[in-house]
Amino acid sequence: SVAEMCPASKASLSDRELALAFEILRLLVGKVEVNIRRHIADYLADRNDVPRDLIRSLAKEEIGVAYPILAHNTVLAADDLIEIIEECSLRHRQAIAIRPHISQAVTDRLVALDEIEVLTTLLCNETADIGEASMRHLVERSLEIESFREPLAHRKEMTGEMARRMYIWAGDSLRDFIVESFDVN
């Protein structure tokens, strides 16, 4: 009931009542079963007025609870995401790789771990900001990991130099795309 009260229209709760409801949730989250925590996370995932400590707590839960928070909640800052990347599971990292508009600091950390499943997800996230050093690493990894090639070639961060490098091991159709899209001779 408290979880459903929080996401309800703010017009029905005063700021004090909303803060009290979040405090009750904060106290309950560690004491209720996983299905209820998942329900709470689903309700709070799209809200940006939830206390950061409550969101961080839910983001570090098992992935069934954490996923909607990791993939959608805007309260989590880059340093929160990096901490979760370092402390939590591969599935947590995949959920972070799906997030819209993740920063270079976060993508750099994901790339540094070099987990193929996470990197594949990251490459398909068109809004993720991938830095030049990370892009160079991914281009080099595409020599061995063919599934990286197509999404890499379509990234906005791809440079002509990187495309020329990848052209060497790309298949015929991808080579045609590279020639058409980049100044590759």
**pLDDT of the residue at 30:** 64
**What is the per-residue pLDDT for 19?**
73
| Cβ neighbours for 70, distance < 8 A, ≥ 6 positions apart | 59, 76, 81, 84, 92, 95, 96, 98, 99
Residue 39 is predicted with a pLDDT of 84
- pTM for this predicted structure: 0.84
* Placement of tokens 């995401």 in the chain: 81
Residue 169's pLDDT is what?
A: 94
Which residues in the chain come in under a pLDDT of 70? 1-13, 18, 21, 24-32, 185
pLDDT of residue 9: 43
Token digits of residue 3: 């979880």
